[in-house]
Amino acid sequence: MLKQLLIGNWKSQGSVEEIHQFISAIGRLSAPENVRPVLCPPFVYLDLVKKRLPVGYSLGAQTCSFNLKGAFTGEINANMLQDVGCSYVLIGHSERQESLDILEKQMERAWESNLVPIFCIGEEAPSAWYSLAKKISYLSSISSASPFFVAYEPVWAIGGKIPPSCGYLVQALQYLKSHLKNSQGFIYGGGVRPENLKEILDLHMLSGILVGQSSFQQTVWTMLLAILETYGKVCKKQV
């Protein structure tokens, strides 16, 4: 069964006590068989989260260094991430504002460490898809032997702002899919909430969902999981 990814990007929030509370709460519920939940905490909490990761969950990092090990003070390289149990790494989140040259090197470091990159891409303003041309050109050149997911996150919808309409999403995803046939799948992020998740899933165009700060709210996270589980059961009956 193909599993839907549910990725929680906690961004720069959390504490030891809050993480213990969060994982204690979500750990009481097993991960749905049709969902692969991925938690992406800040670097300093990766090991803590790994040690308490619920069954069926995977660990992800919010970024990685484009350097290998060496004299790079403050940098966290991909080998370190793999060493503490990460399976995934976000690359190119718009909040980091990194150049394409840096992103390409980060992708290489991720593959070298057997991490699956989730490459974030999105336009600054509605319909400004022309601004994605260089990133699309790079991604389209990647060999199918190098796995990666594309996370479509329109910049203007990130941070709890008004998400794009489903009609707009269809157009955007069709555009990306027509150019990036080598991707493992497409993930959507930007204004995702329990109230609109089913509508987004009903497009039948996605391999997963990427949720930002609200993913660190236990009630929101469990609601998202429940919706994805129900969605999977419905789809299974229809097959």
CA distances from 198 to 26, 102, 134, 164 (A): 21, 35, 32, 14
CA distances from 155 to 124, 152, 203 (A): 5, 9, 21
Q: Map residue 145 onto helix, strand or coil.
A: coil
Q: Tokens 């899919």 belong to which residue?
A: 177
CA distances from 125 to 60, 153, 158, 164 (A): 28, 11, 11, 11
Q: Which of 93, 108, 112, 229 is catalytic?
A: 93
Q: Catalytic site residue 93?
A: yes
Q: Which of 153, 179, 195, 199 is catalytic?
A: 153
Q: Tokens 């990666």 belong to which residue?
A: 148
d(CA 9, CA 6): 10
Q: Catalytic site residue 179?
A: no
Active site residues: 93, 153
